[in-house]
Every structure is written in structure tokens, then in C-alpha cells.
């Protein structure tokens, strides 16, 4: 289901889940016991989760009829190209 199709409750649930995933990935980035490869993977996941978190916050603001001062980051397009 796309973000545009979600109810406000589903958007809030997704925001909480994505925020937790982002936080855990950021913790892994700082974990010096992990390999550089694992830390890089965590950094990429943290960026993806942060991008999704921003999209969710924008969608929530739209549902609530509020102007959003947030803007989407451009780095997600780099990930999209690599995954194709």
C-alpha cells in the first residue's frame, strides 16, 4: 500500500516503526565492533529510513491539512538507480 492510500492511523504507525528502524541503524553506524561493511550497510539503511520518515511526515501534514516545511531529500534517487 502506498503512503497516499494510508489512513492517518496507518501513517502514524508507519512513522513510529520507521523512526525505530532509523534509530537502530544509526546505533549500528556508531558500533565500532561491527565491520566497515556492516556499518556502511547500516548507514545506507538509516538514510533510506530517514527519507521514508520525511515522506510519512509530509503525508501526515497533508492529511491534517497543514502546510509542510519539510522537503524530500534527493539522495533517495541514487538508491533507486542502484536497485534497478
Q: What is the pLDDT of residues 24-82, one digit of tens each?
A: 999 999 999 999 999 999 999 999 999 999 999 999 998 988 877 766 665 555 556 55
* Residue 58 lies in domain: 3-83
pTM of the model: 0.77
Q: What is the pLDDT of residue 70?
A: 66
Q: How many domains does the chain have?
A: 1
Listing DSSP states for 19-79 in one string gives: HHHHHHHHHHHT-TTS-HHHHHHHHHHHHHHHHHHHHHHHHHHHHTT--------STHHHH
Higher pLDDT, 11 or 2: 11
Please state, in angstroms and rounded to a whole number, the distance separating the CA atoms of residues 66 and 75.
25
Q: What is the pLDDT of residue 33?
A: 97
Q: What is the pLDDT of residues 15-25, one digit of tens each?
A: 999 999 999 99
Amino acid at each position: 500500500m502506498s503512503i497516499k492510500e494510508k489512513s492517518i492511523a496507518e501513517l502514524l504507525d508507519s512513522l513510529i516503526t520507521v523512526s525505530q528502524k532509523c534509530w537502530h541503524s544509526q546505533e549500528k553506524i556508531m558500533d565500532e565492533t561491527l565491520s566497515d561493511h556492516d556499518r556502511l550497510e547500516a548507514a545506507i539503511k538509516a538514510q533510506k529510513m530517514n527519507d521514508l520518515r520525511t515522506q510519512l511526515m509530509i503525508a501526515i501534514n497533508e492529511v491534517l491539512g497543514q502546510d509542510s516545511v519539510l522537503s524530500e531529500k534527493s539522495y533517495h534517487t541514487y538508491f533507486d538507480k542502484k536497485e534497478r
